[in-house]
Amino acid sequence: MDLSADDWQALVISLKVALVASAVSLPFGVLAAWVLARKEFVGKSLLNGLIHLPLILPPVVTGYVLLLLFGRRGPIGGFLDQAFGIVLSFRWTGAALACAIMGFPLMVRAIRLAIEGLDQGLEAAATTLGAGRWTVFRTITLPLIMPGIITGVILSLAKSMGEFGATITFVSAIPGETKTIAAAIYSYTQVPDGDAGAFRLTIVSVIVSFAALIASEVLARRARRHLGDADA
């Protein structure tokens, strides 16, 4: 299966966007999951709803909202452009932002489930021995929820690799800049004799997604095995 130069370019852009989106959203995902799992406060249901809203809204709507907020004429995008010279709309960084938002709910949910399943007695025992909150989180909580974090990151990566609606609306499909695999497949379907190219990239997408799922399972098993060895 021979990929053209444009196909390789779309693959590289997709991988770059997915990796940046997942890496940038990870700290916020852990924080959001911990707050939702451990804290009770007024507006918790509202926060939970806002975090999961991208899963319910049509991706095009999410992309349009991003365009309104982060476009050069938007309140946030205009400020970033004038103050720091940062432009997100119609740039690959904007695609990463859109993918991060679309994959964020999946990441938070996986990490939250891991935190809720954690035996808090272990944290309490470390606290009674004089460990501070940050030390407890770093040495007890974080290692124990690592399988959930790995799962959340892989889910975010997979979602980012396949994202189309939000990115096409917010950053379009500019060759060499924002044209991801999903956008390239769509482009192939809009031209005569483009079926071969669309099928070729579809196979690539399936392979990449399947590899990500396998990697997630392997890493999660290693993390659980490491925790089991540590407990022993």
Q: Which helix (H) or strand (E) holds 57?
A: none
Cβ neighbours of residue 223 under 8 Å, at least 6 residues apart?
146, 147, 150
The confidence score (pLDDT) of residue 165 equals 92
- Residue predicted with more confidence, 160 or 218: 160
pLDDT digits (tens, 9 = 90+) for 133-181: 888 888 888 888 888 898 899 889 989 988 999 999 999 989 889 999 9
Give the integer Cα–Cα distance in Å for 67 and 113. Answer: 32
pLDDT tops 90 at residue 215? no
The confidence score (pLDDT) of residue 208 equals 85
Residue 174 phi, psi dihedral angles, 5° rounding: -85, 120
Supply angle C-alpha 84, 72, 169, rounded to 5.
125
Q: What does the DSSP assignment read for 17-47?
A: HHHHHHHHHHHHHHHHHHHHHH---TTHHHH
Confidence of residue 103 (pLDDT cuts 50, 70, 90): very high
The set of long-range contacts for 199-202, using a CB threshold of 8 Å and a minimum separation of 24, is: 200/1, 200/3, 200/7, 201/3, 201/7, 201/10
pLDDT tops 60 at residue 230? no
Residue 127 phi, psi dihedral angles, 5° rounding: -65, -40
Domains and CATH numbers, the chain: 5-231 (1.10.3720.10)
Give the integer Cα–Cα distance in Å for 107 and 25. Answer: 9
